[in-house]
Structure formats: structure tokens, C-alpha cells
Amino acid sequence: MNYNYNEDYQYDSCVSQGICSVNPRTSSLQEVLVLYLKLTAYYALKLYENGGSDEKARNIIMNTISVMVSNFEFSEKDFEALANGFKNILPPLIKKYESLANVKDDIPESLKSVLKLDEKADIIRSIKLGEQEFLKKAKEISAESRDLYKILFVLAKSICINVLDLESFGVDAEDGYLSILKLLNSLNADEQNPEKIKTLIEEMAEMDDRLMRTLQKAREERYGKPEVAEVSYTTTPGKAILVVGSNIRELEDVLEAVKGKEIDVYTHDEMMLANTFPKFRQYSNLKGQYGQGIENCLLDFATFPGPIILTRHSLYNVEHLYRGLLYTTDFASSKGVIPIKDKDFSDVIKSAEKAKGFKTGRPCETVTIGFNYDEVIAKIKEKAGKFSRVFIIGLGAYTLEQKAYFEKLFSQVPDDVLIVSLSYCIQRDNIICLNACFDSYAVTRLTEALSKELALPVTVFFPKCDRHTISQMVYLTKTENVDLYVGKCTPIMLNPNMITTFQKAFGIKGLTSVKKDLDEILKK
């Protein structure tokens, strides 16, 4: 794991320890899980079309995708648990569909499968089956179609996570689940046409955008509208718990569990965003942010003197240095990570009470995060008459290479270009700086608002490449008068071949040199 937060991705844990790549055994097992997903989706969709539903099928489909895609510690134990889970729910699911079809005097349809549902999952046989599926795809499906399907699964993961997050707020997201069923069932088609897959990706991006809007609304209704907030990095003496990830609903559960106890709670990485919601300021146990983020999680986790909770869908490398201190609420847990069931944090609390905690604490300066969306739009509209176009800079990956690129961009951009930056910034009259923290949806909201409110061309730069931004980029390609540029994608998300296919399919450009990019943008 790389200890330097400000290095390029080529030198961080992603590459240096190989966690960006999936070993052949795991890759083969994932191929088999896709077979289970396709088969389950086929019958779940047939059941739905006949007026029925199956909650067990829904749960295993949504959780398998959210865990499987981009999970590089996906173990053989995880596979066996999931595969046997599918074997348990599939026969009654098929029977339920056939019974419903018979009641309606329809002839039940069936899908041929190489899966043997009457046998327990066997790792060796499954690996061989996965290898056969991989070779079959390589022979029958073009490289472009394979890349597009992998991109589609990145969006599927985002949708699954957003659906599950919405459900934690008590919000129904049935349309998101149905889109996943249709996606998986499309894999059962004999012909895999790149244009059809591209259209499906666009439809999934639109669905994901609707889910993100709904999730934002659900958060605001529960916690209040996000505000500008001062967040402390200071640690105070006492027992402590670190909460990691992006599921702020689970942070609330943790804070409720430690109410009245002398245990402090700190946020890490994306969870920092919770500090912008008014309700979280009511919790005296919530002290602030700890550590530098996912790029520095080895050092952050190893130095934290208490238990660490990985909320659902957190992607972290689990090191031996802190195994035994990690807990997770996720559907599947990596080796050395202790599962939390039914929101029962009693073991975490006991662990915190036994841990050494912070002995003296360490004073650090605070940071200001968040912004008032309406005020920003009004400010931009007020300034708009002076400018010929708008640049929007999204959330940063904060590498040395990117920092140098945007510093140079800011120094060379003409004065008649308005820059709205959510990450990198310098003080200039034509630059509006916003500390959006980890508000991944802010870019889409700003881009859509500005493209409608201003009769100006908008260029959006996505320095960071993750499941949020990939989905947003596809969605924004449909917005008129908007050009998109993306920084380097880590192999965690898209490998080089997939990046090339992605950019070509959706007309998204990669960052090259400041001069070349500016010349291309400004000549339009």
C-alpha cells in the first residue's frame, strides 16, 4: 500500500500490490456467478411478467452484483456461499413461475443452462466451467462487445448499490431492480450486438441518474439540506470507532448505538460527506474526519486505535496489519473481516472499549466542505454575461500528474472562460471554487443546470474515474452543448482496452496535454 496520498495511481496499492487485477481462479468463479445471475434473472423476469415476484431472488441478485463487481478479495468461500444460495432459491423460483403460468393456461418457457442445480458448489468443477465460459465468450463475442458488457456491469453495480441504499431509507426502487433483470436477461440472447449493448448502457445510465436524484432527496428529507460545514481532523483522547465508506444511513445506526457511551466516532474517506448534513451535528459522539482516504487506507487503518466499520459496498484492501479490527455490514466479508448482522454493533462497541483508543489526541486544522447549490447557481448566472463558455472540474483524484495538469490549465485558460471547480483551484476572477467534498452527484446537477440556464457551451472534466463518474459521463453525453473529458482510469474500474472502447463508443475524450486539449475545446 502506498503511503503517499498525492502520488499517481500507477504507484499506489492498486498496482504495487496487484489488487487491481483479478487472479484467474477468481475470474473463472465470477464467470460462473454470471451464469447463475443470468438464469435467476430469466425466471425472475418471467415471474414478474406474469404478475408474481420473489424476494429471495431479488436479494441474491442485487447483493451478488454489488459485491462481485470490483471486489478483488472475492474468495472461494464467498463463491461457495453465493453459488449454494442460488442453488437453493432457483428450483422454487422456477416452480413458482411454472405454477403461475399454468394457472393462466400459458405454456411455461424454460432456459437451458450448463449449471447443475442438484449438486453442491464444487470449486474445481466451477473453475473449469468458468474457464470454458471465458473461452466461449472470447470465441463468439467481439472484443468490443465484451468491453461494453464489462462497462455495463460497472453501471449495474452502481444501480444495485443505489437501490439497496434507497431501501435503507424505506424508499421503493422497483424500477431499478427491473432494469437489472432486463440487463441480465439480455446476456441470454444469442446475438450480442455492440449498438444494442451501447443503447442498454445509456438506458442504465438514465436509470442510475434517477436513482441518484431520489437518493439525494431521501437523504435531505431525513438529514436536512447539505450546508457548508467545518470538519475537524483533530483526534481527542478516548475510545474510538472509525466508519468507512459512503452509506451514511449506516453511520446514523452506529451513532445511535453509541449514544450515551464514552466512545467517539470518526468518518473516513467518502463518509466525510455526512458532516454537511445538519442532523449529524446533533451527535456529540461524532468528532470529525480521520486519515487521508482510500489511497492511504493502509496507514490510516493501521494507526487507528480502535475497531473499523466498513459500511456496505466499501472497496478496500484488507491487510494483515489490521485484520481482526475490521467489521462490515456487507453481504459478503473478506477473510479477517467480522460480519455485522441485523444492525447489532455490540461486538464493535466491546472491541472499542477494549482497544487502547487515543491516549492524548492530536490537534489538526479544520477544513471547510460543502456548498449552497442555489447560491452557486445564482452567482454563476450573475457572472455569465462576461464569459463565452464554462469549464466544470469534477472531483479530483489528487495525483501529482493531475495537480500539474489543472494548475497549467488554469494559468492558460482565457479570461472569457468561466471555471467552476469542485476540486483543484487557484484564486482568479474567472474561477469559482467549491469544496464539494465527496458529493459525486454535484457535477451532474451543476452541468444540467448550467446547460439549461446559460446559452454557453459547457466542457466537463472528470479527473476521477469511478462507478459514479462512469455512469454520469454516459448520462451527460445526452446533454446538448456539453463536451466531456476524463482523466486516467485505474484498472480497478476500466482496463486500457475498456477505456478505449468507452471513449470511442460515447465520444468522451481523454486528457492529453493542456495545450492540445485547450486548442481542441476553444476552436469549437
Confidence (pLDDT) at 72: 53
pLDDT for the residue numbered 317:
57
The residue among 321 and 133 whose pLDDT is bigger is 133
239 close to 355: Cβ distance less than 8 angstroms: yes
Q: In this predicted structure, what is the pLDDT of residue 8? A: 42
Fold of 229-367: Rossmann fold (3.40.50)
Greater pLDDT, 190 or 237? 237
Q: Which residues are CB-neighbours of 484 under 8 A, at least 6 positions away?
A: 459, 460, 462, 473, 476, 477, 506, 507, 508, 509
Under a CB-based contact definition with an 8 Å cutoff, are residues 211 and 166 in contact? yes
Phi, psi of 204 (to 5 degrees): -65, -35
User: Of the given ranges (135-139, 186-190, 295-299, 463-467), which has the lowest mean pLDDT?
Assistant: 295-299
pLDDT score of 5: 33
State the average pLDDT for the chain.
Answer: 88
CATH number of the domain located at residue range(s) 372-522 in this protein: 3.40.50.2030
Q: How confident is the model at residue 316 (pLDDT cuts 50, 70, 90)?
A: low
With beta carbons less than 8 A apart as the criterion, state whether 53 and 47 touch.
yes
User: pLDDT digit string (tens) for 488-520?
Assistant: 887 767 888 999 999 999 999 999 999 999 999
pLDDT of 279 > 90? The answer is: yes
For 76, the grid coordinates are 472461494
Going by C-alpha positions, the residue among 244, 238, 480 that lies closest to residue 362 is 238
Mind listing the pLDDT tens digit for each residue in 120-169? 889 999 999 999 999 999 899 999 999 999 999 999 999 999 999 999 99
Res 109 pLDDT > 70:
yes
Q: Which of 42, 74, 76, 75 is nearest to 57 (CA)?
A: 42
Instruction: State the residue for C-alpha cell 466542505.
Output: 369
Residue 11's pLDDT is what?
38
Average pLDDT over residues 212-220: 95
Mean pLDDT of 245-250: 92
pLDDT in tens, 9-67: 443 445 444 445 557 788 889 899 999 999 999 999 999 999 999 999 999 999 899 87
- Look at residue 105 and tell me whether its pLDDT is greater than 90: no
What's the pLDDT band for 173 if we cut at 50, 70, 90?
very high
- Cα gap 81→78, rounded to integer Å: 5
pLDDT band at 319 (very low <50, low <70, confident <90, very high): low
Residue ranges of the chain assigned to CATH 3.40.50.2030: 229-367, 372-522
DSSP string, 323-384: TTSEEE-SSS--TT-EE--TT--HHHHHHHHHS--BSS-B---EEEE---HHHHHHHHHHHG
C-alpha cell belonging to residue 312: 456496505
Q: In which band, very low, low, confident or very high, does the pLDDT at 73 lie, cut at 50, 70 and 90?
A: low
pLDDT in tens, 380-391: 888 888 999 999
**Residue 4: which pLDDT band, with cuts at 50, 70 and 90?**
very low
Of all helices (H) and strands (E), which one includes residue 111? none
Average pLDDT over residues 351-380: 90
Query: Which residue's C-alpha cell is 448566472?
Result: 381
CA 295 from centre of chain: 15
pLDDT-derived band at 2 (thresholds 50, 70, 90) equals very low
- At 424, the pLDDT band (50, 70, 90 cuts) reads confident
Q: Which residues pair with 231 in a beta bridge?
A: 367
The reported pLDDT for the residue numbered 199 is 95
